[in-house]
């Protein structure tokens, strides 16, 4: 396959057997290079990790689920280094092309997967979402994307970053492909919920005016389709302590997962990724424990506010930054985005991005965040909304 989008790792192609028929028959898929696929190495976005990988002899369960559904595997995609970046940039391998906005970053860390789907090189792609690594590139590249309920999809055979935050998510361009992938990867929902929507104006307050203007009519259409959107009026939990807790948990667990390898083999990391691992190394067990307590309090607050309702919220504040944006500009965007993205992470709830708008020719998504275990419901709502059903 010719890869002008720079979405795929340049591994020698090895055909992977798939079912001759099934619900995914006729669809193609790609896999973020964190997941093991028999016949391929797992590089994790870093040459040292790739050099130590060897050829895998087993296939990760979510990859196998797509194969068993009849989908055809077409390759392994680039990832931001050790999956610890949201920009999609990789100092070793470059930046995959955003198929919906080629002059803008694709978002990460599932950058190659989003690039492959948005450039039409495959129908479906697996990614991982720890702090926003499926939802961000889904919004930036104009795709459907799901971060599932934590633990809903197996992470066996996947390179870890942060055990209590890592999830296996996926992308698709079309509603039908997204629904078909969801059926194979998610099974049936564990609980049944009615569709009652909620919103909190505080989550929209910091958005640029053009984002507010683009999302307002979308929410009006959702209200017309599904009924009145309940306003949540209690003050949001404090932003800075919550973000600090998120960063401490992520950093501490990331160092537990990769710190020994980084130090033992002298991994050369990009400056931004190196800074994050250095931060994680410095987090003390006491700080980690306190951060986990704040996470539980934060999750309990949202449980009390939402109950079984589905929260409408911006996926990220704006369209993707330009490729020419300075690193500090990208970091500012990353920081603001996290205040939205960490809600699903800390509450362990599923969240789906729906590609609903464009600004300056670049995509912008909106999200539905549901009760734990409502993943299939969210996918159905997202696809039916876009199909007008």
Report the chain's terminal Cα–Cα distance, integer Å: 36
- Report the C-alpha gap between 10 and 121 in whole angstroms: 14
- Contact criterion met (CB below 8 Å) for 389 and 361: no
Three-class SS string for 146-171? EECCCCCCCCCCECCCCCCCCCEEEE
Among the listed residues 32, 85, 110, 115, the single catalytic one is: 32
Q: Is 113 a catalytic residue?
A: no
Q: Is 80 a catalytic residue?
A: no
Q: Is 133 a catalytic residue?
A: yes
> 197-199 and 124-128 as β-strands: parallel, antiparallel, unpaired?
unpaired
- Contact criterion met (CB below 8 Å) for 148 and 205: no
Owner of token pair 């060897």:
54
Among the listed residues 80, 85, 87, 109, the single catalytic one is: 109
Among the listed residues 87, 133, 139, 179, the single catalytic one is: 133
230-231 sheet: strands from edge to edge: 72-77, 28-32, 124-128, 168-172, 144-147, 351-359, 362-369, 310-314, 197-199, 230-231
Q: Considering Cα of 364, then 159, then 166, then 385, what sign does the dihedral take? A: positive
| Positions marked catalytic | 32, 109, 133
């Amino acid at each position: 396959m010719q890869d002008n989008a720079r979405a795929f790792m340049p591994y020698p192609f090895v055909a992977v057997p798939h079912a001759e028929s099934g619900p995914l028959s006729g669809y193609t898929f790609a896999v973020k290079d964190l997941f093991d696929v028999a016949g391929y190495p797992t590089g994790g976005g870093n040459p040292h990790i790739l050099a130590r990988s060897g050829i895998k002899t087993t296939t990760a369960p979510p990859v196998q689920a797509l194969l068993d559904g009849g989908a055809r595997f077409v390759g392994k995609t680039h990832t931001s280094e050790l999956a610890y970046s949201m920009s999609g940039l990789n100092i070793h391998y470059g930046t995959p092309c955003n198929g919906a906005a080629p002059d803008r970053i694709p978002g990460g860390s599932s950058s190659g997967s989003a690039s492959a789907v948005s450039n039409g090189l495959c129908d479906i792609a697996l990614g991982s979402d720890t702090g926003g690594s499926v939802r961000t590139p889904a919004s930036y590249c104009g795709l459907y994307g799901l971060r599932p309920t934590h633990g809903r999809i197996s992470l066996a055979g996947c390179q870890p970053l942060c055990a209590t935050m890592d999830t296996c998510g996926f992308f698709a361009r079309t509603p039908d492909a997204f629904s078909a992938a969801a059926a194979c990867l998610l099974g049936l929902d564990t609980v049944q919920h009615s569709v009652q929507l909620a919103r909190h104006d505080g989550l929209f307050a910091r958005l640029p005016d053009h984002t507010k203007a683009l999302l307002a009519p979308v929410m009006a259409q959702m209200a017309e389709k599904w009924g009145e959107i309940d306003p949540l009026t209690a003050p949001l939990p404090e932003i800075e302590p919550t973000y600090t807790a998120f960063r401490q948990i992520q950093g501490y667990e990331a160092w537990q997962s990769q710190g020994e390898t980084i130090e033992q083999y002298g991994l050369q990391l990009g400056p931004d990724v190196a800074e994050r691992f250095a931060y994680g190394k410095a987090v003390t067990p006491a700080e980690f424990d306190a951060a986990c307590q704040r996470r539980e309090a934060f999750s309990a607050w949202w449980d009390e506010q939402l109950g079984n309702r589905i929260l409408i919220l911006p996926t990220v504040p704006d369209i993707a930054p330009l490729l020419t944006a300075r690193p500090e500009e990208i970091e500012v965007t990353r920081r603001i985005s996290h205040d939205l993205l960490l809600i699903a992470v800390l509450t362990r709830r599923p969240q789906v991005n729906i590609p609903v708008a464009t600004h300056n020719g670049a995509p912008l998504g909106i999200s539905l965040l549901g009760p734990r275990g409502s993943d299939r419901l969210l996918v159905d709502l997202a696809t039916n909304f876009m199909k007008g059903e």
